[in-house]
Amino acid sequence: MRTARTSLRSRIYSVLRHAILLTGGVVMLFPFIVMVSTSLKPPSEIFSPTFTLLPQEWYAIENFREAFTRVPLARFILNGLLVGATIFLFQALFALPCAYALAKLRFAGRQMTFVLVILALLIPPQVPAIPLYIGMWQLGILDTYAAIILPSTISVFGIFLMRQFFLQIPDDLIHAARIDGLSEFAIVWRIMLPTAIPALTAFAILSFVWNWNDFFWPLIVIQSEHLATPPLGIVFFDNAEAGTNYGPLMAGAVAITAPLVIAFLVAQRRFLEGFAMTGLR
């Protein structure tokens, strides 16, 4: 009798819990659903007063063709890949040795350096935007790939994340490597890097998504259409003609969102593992 009642109670709570989570999920997903739905509809249906999930008349091919032909969408996507990958490579190149030094080497000022890293985490990227812009203008590299890549080559978040991960690697592993004749840099690349792959994967995804979606900085330094990253490219739809054509615009948005969603779904397990190991989850 008693057990029946408690089981009924726990079932009610369970239903309630899922209902709340489900509502949250729908609220989060709704814009994306509208985006995908709009990208499939003809202009007449987009502004119709009654919202339908699926179009009465399928217009997907026309919208996507329009999206890829009116602006060089493929070029934007390639730009995004190039910029994202280059930035990540540089970030890893700097973050791994820095994180190793902060986690495993003993030197005067280590604590202070780490405090500076933490402080740098607190500075929003918009704060140094104007000095950086002026610096790049003086170097004459505005409106180039370098202008997008250069300010992001050092990621304090990457240093912090990798340091947290390196802290858990036993010191004996490093001692063994020193006895085996590895230099400190060799330890970073041959011992720490392979051990840190899960954490590095998690950081790669975060870094890539951030730079793929970044609108602010490319908007400031890029004028040429052929150098635009995907979010910036979407803006060119707006400028192209007098009115905004939402069908192709949403088709473009789907095209630039899809690669990330697919990449996350593929790597999701490793991504979460990486965070579990750095203790940030």
Catalog residues that contact another protein under the rule CB under 8 A: 170, 172-173, 175-182, 186, 191, 194-195, 197
Cβ closer to another protein: 57 or 172?
A: 172
Residue written as token pair 């085996």 = 180
| Three-class HEC string of 249-263 | HHHHHHHHHHHHHHH
* Closest distance of CB 170 from another protein, Å: 6
Cβ closer to another protein: 186 or 220?
A: 186
In three-state secondary structure terms, 191 is helix
* Closest distance of CB 187 from another protein, Å: 11
Sign for the pseudo-dihedral over CA of 257, 212, 64, 41: positive
* Closest distance of CB 33 from another protein, Å: 42
Cβ closer to another protein: 150 or 196?
A: 196
Residue written as token pair 């009465």 = 56
Tokens, residue 64: 């996507």
* Closest distance of CB 274 from another protein, Å: 15
Cβ closer to another protein: 123 or 173?
A: 173
Number of H helices, E strands in the chain: 15, 0
* CA–CA gap between residue 250 and residue 7 (Å, rounded): 47
| Contacts (Cβ under 8 Å, ≥6 apart) of 26 | none
Cβ closer to another protein: 119 or 197?
A: 197
